[in-house]
Structure 1
């Protein structure tokens, strides 16, 4: 039997959010593509300075089949600050293409190490309103025992990836219909060339520069294919919280993408970059996030990206006159709508099929 990751979601440092666990209980429902009899959970407290106390952690596919998750044989345990650990293996019968339900009980009201989703397709919390950010903590990965090796795809990027409006429905499709496991390595606010450095209250959560955290993803997840989309925040942030002199050249962005592609090639990983989508009309506070100089940079970057093998021209699908088409726009002129995300997911899948990558 082989330990196989069936769900992975990058956590980051939400230092500005208090009382994320005000009720003391968290309920998650996560799609599980594989049938299994053994499972373990990744327990994450990477960015907090106090232990994450877990008084009880239960998993089940049906309320009559609840199993208690333990760590080192203990039902009540804590995850020390700055650590990520795997739980003990738990014997439980789970069907393919079903939901794993996780109930986590903790006295910690404020937890800064957390993940974010907007889509309800892959992971659900008790809040299911489509446009509301849903934060969750404690559990950042799931592994099961499987009888074979499965191919793995990593979605790497910023909020457009992290929110899940395209990546989550695509993940469910790939997992259920192609037996390909997926992981979400998107971080909202993440830049390719620079770490979080902003007057924004969210600056800490923007994370390490994508260029360097890409190495961690390759080492930790070891994907067979990476779907990559970053660069929009390198253009958006300067002048809207970050210094304007941090606006990069098009060559800097393109060279960074080429280096990441070369790293993938060294490990025989297919690298699928996507063009940068538009942000004309975006507003951060009272400040316009976009201007003609930024748009010219985006166009120059995309022209160079289109020269790379395996590139997917997402910009061509979602843009009209340098703006997001209404069916793809969630309303802020940057992020994708839920329905638009599903169109994008199908488009990416069709492109992967055309390129014979599935």
Structure 2
């Protein structure tokens, strides 16, 4: 029997958010790509200084009886500060491409260990309040027992990955093509070369530099493919909330991405980097974030990605307007850096075509000797 994560969302430290659980009740509905008869949940309290209490934790599917979830045989429990823990194994009959709802009751009102996802195609959050910002607490992964090893794809990046507008629909479509599971390791505000710094109220949640957290992702998820989309915050933040001396050269970005590629090569993992999308027009911390120098660095970095990595996805031209320095209207959420939900679906289709055209599924089967 094989144990594999079938749903995963990286958590971060949102120390500036209070009363996320004002109602004391939260539901997380997730898409389950693989059939299984046993699952367990990863409970997450990594960034809080107080225990996270669970007075009730159940799972259910539409039209089916709910199932109590236990930890060490108990159905009420608490999770120690700065810790994560797996629940006991749960007997449940889940079909492939089904939905599962996780129902959490907790007296903790303010919780800082949070995940976030704005797309509802793979993960849907209900907080029983007026909140609709996609933040959720408590459960950061679901693991299943399966008979055959799946192909595992990790999405690694910043808010463009984290929000789920392209990664969620792409994940869902890929599961229909083959036995594939995905994990979202996007962190809003994350940079390739530097940890969070500067004046933003969100700085604590930006997390460690991508080059520093990459190993943890490789060890925890053990992916076959990494779809990488990071670098825009390395250019956007300096001088617009972060110190200007943190602006990297194109060579420093190249050195950073090469480190990630080397780590993948050593572990027989296919590295799929995407070119850095444009951000001209964005205002960050009240400051116009773009300038010609940053644009030159972006263009030089993108040229290197396209010519250096066989599975690179040249996303930037696809989402740019005629100037190649701004997001095209059909992709722009309005802040000139993040994509819209509709734009995200188009990006997902674009990436999917690239992955299929490059024969990545067959490459992974050959590398890992995965058989149907």
The answer, yes or no, to whether TM exceeds 0.5 is yes
In structure 2, what is the Cα distance between the partners aligned to 1:136 and 1:351? 32
Q: Is the 8 A contact 1:154 1:227 kept in 2?
A: yes
In structure 2, what is the Cα distance between the partners aligned to 1:42 and 1:269? 25
In structure 2, what is the Cα distance between the partners aligned to 1:159 and 1:49? 25
Runs of 4 or more, structure 1, over 4 Å off, are none
Aligned to 1:137: 137
Structure 1 residues 141-290: aligned runs within 5 Å = 141-290=141-290
Aligned to 1:324: 327
- Counterparts in 2 of 1:121 and 1:68: CA distance versus 1, 3 Å: same
In structure 2, what is the Cα distance between the partners aligned to 1:325 and 1:9? 29
Answer yes or no: is 1:307 the counterpart of 2:304: no
The number of aligned residues is 356
**Which residue, 335, 343, 349 being the options, matches 1:346?**
349
1:174 to partner: Cα distance: 1.1
Could you give the per-residue CA deviations for residues 245-269 of structure 1, whole angstroms, max 9, x where no partner exists?
A: 1111110001110111011000000
TM-score by length of 2: 0.94
Could you give the per-residue CA deviations for residues 184-209 of structure 1, whole angstroms, max 9, x where no partner exists?
A: 00000001101111110000000011
Could you give the per-residue CA deviations for residues 48-87 of structure 1, whole angstroms, max 9, x where no partner exists?
A: 1111001110001135420011000010011111111110
In structure 2, what is the Cα distance between the partners aligned to 1:285 and 1:254? 27
In structure 2, what is the Cα distance between the partners aligned to 1:246 and 1:77? 44
TM-score by length of 1: 0.97
Q: Which runs of 5 or more structure 2 residues have no equivalent in the other structure?
A: 362-372
SS in 2 for 1:307: helix
Q: CA RMSD of the aligned region, Å? A: 1.3
Q: Is the 8 A contact 1:127 1:134 kept in 2?
A: no
1:37 to partner: Cα distance: 1.4
